[in-house]
Structure 1
């Protein structure tokens, strides 16, 4: 019985020593994150589409901080390039034919879907729902339009559809000079 207590006490002491060493190491050997990478990553659209040649937005932000070109983000378009250029304090580079991207989401033609789940595996934001050998569908609010689900589909049942802006996101700002004031006369009509 006393050997059991001795073993338990020895294990507890070792655990305490290792805990203290790890706690000390976590404080002394802490690696500070680069704040410019955090700021660049915040400006990127977070689609994780890999169209820039990197596996996601964070690795691309790290590459930009290390001197890579800032014009590789296709979903972000011109406005993202301008914001990154302002943040980095550099001139906005020529876009080489890069225009403002058209907002699109994936659409599965359900009558052609065989339920292979290859699109689900390719989607970086889990915007596709379905199960093996059953029809799949896209959750449009989650889809970033990265097009990574289109290529793996063996039946070509996935297409990218243009998203029309809802009326809530329209620009309702009206130039006051264009408004023609209309004066109404207050006439009271009395029923006969």
Structure 2
């Protein structure tokens, strides 16, 4: 900003906080148990891997937010300074924001698909109960119908 206003550049006021170098998450592969908690916590999908397999951080995508550290049960994630990734530019910030928004959309879609699968399964169970007359069938059917109604109401309430 100082360059745009043709003013001398001043250091950041310490009362407003300090600037720190960008650090990147690093997973120690020999300690990683493959629990996937860090993958779920990463807001920009910078950690790759699968269940019960070692995970790795894509350094060029990591924002250094440290959100992956608290959920790790074996404390195998450290933040390390990597000079080649220290400077952020507007393009990288925009790309990180886009990855985060894409992740949020994907997670919401997966949540909706799971709800639809569960509803289809419940409807299938209802159909099976209709086919098998028994004294408990009516009670079971009422329980399943009540659960379906609650799930639909919850979904309706969440839809803006």
Which has the larger Rg?
1
Higher relative contact order at CA 8 Å, sep ≥6: structure 1 or structure 2?
A: 2
Q: Place the TM-score, normalised by the shorter chain, in its bin.
A: 0.3 to 0.5
More helix by share: 2
